[in-house]
Structure 1
Amino acid sequence: MSDAAAPSQTSARPARRGFGRRPGADEGPRASFRQLLPYLTEHKRVLAWVIALSVLGAAASLAQPLLVNQVITRVQHATPLGWLVWVLVALVVLAGIISGYQHYLLQRTGEGVVLSSRRRLVARMLNLPIAEFDRRRTGDLVSRVGADSTALRAVLTQGLIDAIGGALTFIGALVGMAIVDPVLLGLTVLVIGLSVVVVVLLSGRIRTASGKAQKKVGDLTAAVERAISSVRTIRAAGATQREIAAVDEDARGAWRMGIQVARISALVVPVAGIALQVSFLVVLGIGGYRVASGAISVASLVTFIIFLFMLVMPLGNAFGAITSVNSALGALGRIEEIIGLPGEDAHDARSASVADSRADAPAIAFESVTFAYPVDPEVSSRAARESTDDAGALVDSAEPNGDPRPVLRDVSFEVPRGKRTALVGPSGAGKSTTLALIERFYDPSSGTIRLGGVDIAALPRDELRAQLGYVEQDAPALAGSLRDNLTLGAPDATDDECRRVLEAVNLGEVLARSPLGLDAPVGEEGVMLSGGERQRLAIARALLAAPPILLLDESTSSLDGRNEQLMREAIDAVAEHRTMIVIAHRLSTVVDSDQIVVLDHGEVVGVGTHSELVASVPLYRELAKHQLLV
């Protein structure tokens, strides 16, 4: 009885399987430097202090060649050195202390930038519409939070601010060299200018390659996450080696893009070294000739060479900063792509409140509701274009003209307050989609859904969902403890209340299984529980929250007869004076319902009690004949 229409993330596969890769899909989005600035300005006070330290450090460094000039001159003239040596030592020590403290501040600020980006990204990600999760792979989203956000640290720790301080040293060195010998300066600038041109030409290629590399890392993370989360299914199907090969292909793709980045960076890194060596040889050769001719003194040549080192070293930092910033901008583009997406409630009207509902109105009412899952031709996987039926076969959900095929067509029915309504029908009829629309995981393509007479599109989603208790079809359990799972919707519940609801759904033995009690872990995705126990835990979670409306999507499908009976008794006890909408696959769960809605191919084909429908609706009569086991 699972709903075939809902897109399945588990069926999504990378575009390498031939599912329609679009041009440029591997490049990924690229951010501009302007988009990086907000992350930096959040720490503007610390960065201002770092820049001030850079100025002080540059001044301490630039003063050293001048003092060396004086030391050499005094030695040549046999003049006592006096305080010069001590000042020179003090400047060296001061420059070292400033550099160390500056490094600490940059590392700390870099971590702050990473934290800020992750907080913004996670906050946006967890507020995205459900449709975004249908069309994106979980591993790729996780990669953006982990690897991509980490890349932003390099902006501060590997170049940008260092380059600002280096720029001051660079300019100071240029001025000092111009004072010492303009001729040697002109030759040096010629050599360095050529190296700068090379770096500028390569910087664009670095940014593009870095963006592609981050995209490949995201693909790899998605492949690993898929394989690990489905490891039991993969082992049982004998597909381990095929999955290893598939993940290996993604790993090789990430490796190839990393090599491409390394190859381009390898052209940039030596430029500073070559510039230094060529400049040094030119200065040494021409400078030695000018010393011999008397144009400059030995002290001036030594001073000039020291300034030369101070000129080229910041230049190397600048080249490194270009590489780091371009890499970070590639990662930032992937972060900003998610942050730039509209949140689930971006276009909500929020013009009404649950308090506006009327006591004489039905709890839930569907009025000519039509809905189709969106088709996104640019997604390089089948998740947004196809879905799985109960047998796992792929079902095309698009019309021949490319428009999305409606899952629900002009659906209308009412759910009375305080009554139990069952949704029945064959696989793919639209039952689970109906509950998803009530929860506003999606909005109807047309028509209206009302809660107590109020259009749910006008209600804040959090206020709407506070009225609903939803038990999903696959009954997921969150990694954590029993208490973590139970109190997800009722954070203020006491331990006694948690134990009581566990006993009500016949999970007392699970509670006694571990001396940790409510703190006993359930494992990743509830792997330490059986399928039936996970289902009962999900129901217990909904019962503990005790909302006025319960939505149960095949909530007893994994239970044996005894546990199903206990579960029905627990639900009956808590459902008194509550509205329930139940999707069921067993006749025993349906016959006691106050109302049964029969769906077929997204249309309502009958509404009534069990006896009425058996007499009037052939499809229901057929389902009842087979105990609704379809």
Structure 2
Amino acid sequence: MTTSTAAAPRRGLLRRSADSGPRARLRDLLPYLAEHRGPIAAVVVLSIVGAALSLAQPLLVEQVVTRVQRAQPLGGVVGLVAAIVAVGAVISGVQHYLLQRTGTSVVLSARTRLIRHLLRLPVADFDRRRTGDLVARVGTDTTLLYAVLTQGLVDAVGGAFTFVGALVGMALLDPVLLGLTLLIVVFAIVVVGGLSRRIRVASRAQQDAVGALTADVERSISAVRTIRASGATDRETESVLAGARRAWTAGLGVARASAPVVPVASLTLNLAFLVVIGVGGFRVASGAIGIGSLVAFLLFLFLMVMPLGSAFGAASSVASALGALGRITEVLDLPAETATDAADQRLEPTRVQAPAVEFEGVSFSYRGADGERVDVLHDVSFTVPRGTRTALVGPSGAGKSTMLALLERFYDVDGGAVRVGGVDVKRLPRDVLRSQFGYVEQDAPALAGTIRDNLRLAAPLATDDDVLRALDAVNLRATVLKHPEGLDAEVGEEGVLLSGGERQRLAIARALLADAPILLLDESTSNLDGRNEQLLRDSLAAASEGRTTIVIAHRLSTVVDADQIVVVDGGRAVAAGRHEELLTTSPLYRELAATQLLV
């Protein structure tokens, strides 16, 4: 089976290191948060209300202690404290639900944006990147954004309000104790700030390692038959496990970077309480403050340290989320395939006399893994008249499949022009251009799903009768209807439940169902037996009536009756003509025909 030269740069050859991608900042989250500003605003309001209720509690407790100390009646103070605690608990529950809901919605928004962009990237980007790593960015990386909301960012507003309110209350009660407390707190904030930067770098490395592992697993599963048939199960297992160990090592890096956060927070809390109790007790004994004020100060200290401790814990989660956001941003920053590059919006009726397809001086190259350009096509020129059948033949790797890829604008030419209906393909919207083709790829891929889903991929409005007629054309109707589920039968992952020939005929039926004026067939009969090949050739001949067909073939017997045969070698169109003519004018074609016993 031939392999398009343009597809030579394999996935995984171009990898970024952990620190080579864009670094996300909190402001990069704003587009995601802005979509959910209503629920976020409600959470912020609830956070502030809850903080205000919490700040009222120390003052009320001070009143209770003072009244008890003076043997005064408590009145309704105890009931008020109980009511505040109960209302605060309800608000906390509602706030928790809204946070979880909004966090999940932010993940959905990120996935929606990433998927929409991912599926519109140029084909060349998929050639250079590993599928599993891209899948990991949609799954694992977007999930980490959940931590931004649920573990600190929005809740930090209420925490900040509580923190500032507690500071004010403590300053009013005893400025001396407040000063000692702030010395400890500022030291902790500086330490955690430095740690968060290390956590972000380590998290990015971990996500890259997990992405590479996902890609390794995806590769091994998709090629499991080849691996087992080659006796390579143990070697492949060790290769994937090596990736798992790299992910484990990267995870340890995150653990090492984030481990100091918990003891720093704990040390801050304990040290602050010990200082306040020790120094505060001395000040109570000296008469500088009352016992009620010391109790209130301790409660304010608790209210101040609690959001601070949560912020320290959230720092590692948010840093990890920002590392993941950097990987998401890396993909979103890639330019998507544009709809059109110029003014023409359709194939004009006045151009109907133009050839169906023209290649004029076309040159094309791709960028290899080392960044160097690799030439694929050199000054290729040929014309395909309307309603005719043209075959592209030549050795493997000559560039035949690349020509079809250029017609579909999976890649753009470096020089020359490719025209469809007399219009440069660069001047047509891609959807208009691609609607002109029924394209059967070399490996005839099938999508996981039903037979009906696969056939209606390019013709979503097709009826079951239309689908069955297309199956008739490729001699597949009887096979499909023998299955108990008929058109609803599953084809399996990548069509694994179909034979190679069935998958190929299914791909051709899909192209016929699209009813496009130009058929592009890349080795469309390579997996068929002699009987089905002849039946399919007859069906294609009938289906090609009024259509233009361009077919890539290794078996010359399938194209000897073509209106035109273009011989391709080393990225050049070296000869063109009919079978009998080329036998005398093209040494390469005569050699190919001789090896296949056609002369």
Query: Fold conserved (TM > 0.5)?
Result: yes
CA distance, structure 2, for counterparts of residue 8 and residue 246 of structure 1: 23
Q: Give the Cα separation in 2 of the matches to 1:471 and 1:213.
A: 40
Q: 1:501 is matched with which residue? A: 470
* 1:555-586 deviation per Cα after TM superposition (whole angstroms, max 9, x unaligned): 00000000101111111111100000001122
Tell me how far apart the structure 2 counterparts of residues 363 and 587 of structure 1 sit (CA, whole Å): 23
Alignment match of 1:264 (pick from 226, 250, 257): 257
Moved more, 179-188 or 339-348: 339-348
Which whole-Å CA distance do the structure 2 matches of 1:535 and 1:423 have between them?
A: 19
Report the counterpart of residue 422 of structure 2 in structure 1: 453
Tell me if the contact between 1:162 and 1:317 (Cα under 8 Å) persists in the aligned partners: no
Give, in whole Å, the separation in 1 of the partners of 2:58 and 2:18.
Answer: 53
Alignment counterpart, residue 435 of structure 2, candidates 454, 462, 466: 466
Aligned-pair CA distance for 1:405:
2.9
- Cα displacement (A) at 1:238: 1.0
Give, in angstroms, the shift of residue 265 of structure 1. 1.1
Of 108, 116, 131, the residue aligned with 2:124 is: 131
Residue 412 of structure 1 aligns with an amino acid whose one-letter code is S
Alignment-derived partner of residue 484 in structure 2: 515
- In 2, distance between residues paired with 1:513 and 1:61? 71
Corresponding residue of 2:6: 6
Equivalent residue, structure 1, for 2:85 = 92
Corresponding position of 1:577: 546
| 1:607 and 2:576 aligned | yes
Is it true that 1:181 corresponds to 2:174 in the alignment?
yes
Residue 567 of structure 2: SS of its match in structure 1?
Answer: strand
Does the CA contact (< 8 Å) of 2:438 and 2:514 recur in 1?
Answer: yes
Does structure 1 conserve the Cα–Cα contact (< 8 Å) formed by 2:18 and 2:201? no
* Partner AA of 2:465 in structure 1: D
For the 8 Å contact 1:593–1:609, the answer to whether it is kept is yes
Aligned partner of residue 374 in structure 2, secondary structure = coil
SS in 2 for 1:368: strand
Alignment equivalent of 2:306, drawn from 288, 293, 313: 313
Which residue is 2:522 aligned to? 553
Q: Following the alignment from structure 1 to structure 2, what is the Cα–Cα distance between the partners of residues 12 and 547? A: 32
Work out the CA distance in 1 between the residues paired with 2:420 and 2:306.
69
Partner of 2:48: 55
- Superposition deviation, residue 324 in structure 1: 2.0
Select the residue among 402, 406, 410 that pairs with 1:437.
406
1:279 alignment partner, one of 261, 267, 272: 272
Output the CA distance in 2 between the equivalents of 1:51 and 1:148. 26
Greater RCO, 1 or 2 (C-alpha within 8 Å, sep 6+): 1
The CA distance in 1 between the partners of 2:56 and 2:324, in whole Å, is 39
Identify if the C-alpha distance between structure 1 residues 485 and 612 changes in structure 2 by more than 3 Å, giving closer, same or farther.
same
**Rounded Cα–Cα distance in structure 2 between residues aligned with 1:377 and 1:76:** 81
CA distance in 1, matches of 2:497, 2:585: 46
Match among 529, 540, 555 for residue 586 of structure 1: 555
Consecutive unaligned residues in structure 2, runs of 5 or more:
none
For residues 86-126 of structure 1, the C-alpha deviation after alignment (integer angstroms, 9 at most, x for no partner) is 11011111111111111111111111111111111111111
Closer/same/farther in 2, CA of residues 74 and 543 from structure 1, 3 Å limit: same
Partner of 2:355: 362
Aligned mates of 1:255, 1:243 — CA distance in 2: 18
User: Partner letter of residue 351 of structure 2?
Assistant: R
Listed as ranges, the gaps of 5+ residues in structure 1 are 16-20, 379-401
Cα deviation digits, residues 184-240 of structure 1 (max 9, x gap): 111111111111111111111111111111111111111111111111111111111
Corresponding residue for residue 236 of structure 1:
229
- RMSD (CA atoms): 1.6
Q: Is the 8 A contact 2:206 2:251 kept in 1?
A: yes
Residue aligning to 2:114: 121
Work out whether 1:598 is the aligned partner of 2:567: yes
Separation of aligned partners in 2, 1:433 and 1:482: 28
SS at the partner of 2:375? coil
> Of 216, 224, 229, which aligns to 2:217?
224
* Match in the other structure for 1:386: none
Residue aligning to 1:371? 364
- Does residue 475 (structure 1) correspond to residue 430 (structure 2)? The answer is no
**SS of equivalent residue, structure 2 residue 565:** strand
Show the counterpart of 1:534: 503
Q: Separation in 2 of the partners of 1:156 and 1:617?
A: 69
* Aligned partners of 2:361 and 2:416 also within 8 Å: yes
Counterpart amino acid of 1:492? Answer: L
Query: Aligned match of 2:65 in 42, 52, 72?
Result: 72
* 1:272 Cα offset (Å): 1.6
Distance of 1:89 and 1:628 partners within structure 2: 97
Q: Say if 2:265 and 2:312, in contact at 8 Å, map to a contact too.
A: yes
Shift of 1:294: 1.4
* CA drift at 1:356: 5.6
- For the residue of structure 2 that corresponds to 1:422, the secondary structure is strand
Q: Does the 8 Å CA contact 2:265/2:309 hold for their aligned counterparts? A: yes
Distance 1:239 1:111 in 2: 41
Q: Is the 8 A contact 1:352 1:454 kept in 2?
A: no
Q: 2:28 aligns with which of 35, 57, 66?
A: 35
Hey, what's the Cα distance between the residues in 2 that align with 1:203 and 1:176?
30
Give the 3 Å change call, closer, same or farther, for CA 32–249 of structure 1 in structure 2: same
Q: 2:322 aligns with which of 329, 332, 352?
A: 329
TM (normalized to structure 2)?
Answer: 0.97
- The answer to whether the Cα contact below 8 Å between 2:47 and 2:158 also exists between their aligned partners in 1 is yes
Separation of aligned partners in 2, 1:244 and 1:511: 37
Counterpart of 1:333 in structure 2: which amino acid? G
Q: Deviations over 1:255-277 (max 9, x none)?
A: 11111111111111222211110
Task: Please give the secondary structure, in 2, of the residue aligned with 1:406.
Answer: strand
- Amino acid in structure 1 at the alignment position of 2:386: R
Identify the residue that residue 492 of structure 1 maps to in structure 2: 461
Of 376, 380, 387, 1:407 maps to: 376
